[in-house]
Structure 1
Amino acid sequence: MGTIHYEVVEHEDGWTYKVGDVFSERYASHDEARAAAERAAAEQMLPGATEDIEYQDEGGDWHEEISLGKDRPETDVMG
């Protein structure tokens, strides 16, 4: 599993963090956005319960898998 990058950036007259092209809510300061990104990144790495999951792929086919609760990505915070 790869690394998920949380990036702190200026956005809409404030600060936010983003993962890929998805932005979080806006924060008044860089420090607030950085702290929120660090919390989100830490939570992303917490183990969870093993779950059965179902998802539909781009071709419309459904798949079933077991997601192990210990299979968590690495994360980092930039900016």
Structure 2
Amino acid sequence: MTKITYEIVEHDGGWAYRMNGVYSETFVSHDSARKAAERAAREQVVPGETTGISYEDKDAHWHDETASGDDRPETEVKG
């Protein structure tokens, strides 16, 4: 099973969460960035329909894959 870690970090004059080298938008406080990361983590584990996805990796390469609706990662928030 894949594990996703959202890490709360200082970023661009505020706070953000980072996952796999990619930053979220900037939040004014650590608490608001953590709440957003926790929300994202909860959404990641919700089963859904099998569908096609596109995503950009940390090296700015785009990937197209099929995501099984019941193949959900384990998540955690640090920081």
TM-score by length of 1: 0.78
User: Structure 2 unaligned runs (5+)?
Assistant: 55-64
Provide TM-score, normalisation by structure 2: 0.78
In structure 1, the residue matched to 2:62 is none
Number of matched pairs: 70
What is residue 32 of structure 2 aligned with on the other side? Answer: 32
CA distance in 1, matches of 2:73, 2:39: 15
Give aligned-pair identity as a percent.
Answer: 55
Larger Rg: 1
Q: Distance in 1 between matches of 2:69 and 2:46?
A: 9
Unaligned runs of 5+ in 1: 56-64
Over aligned residues, Cα RMSD in angstroms? Answer: 2.1
- Which portions of structure 1, spanning 4 or more consecutive aligned residues, are displaced by more than 6 angstroms? none
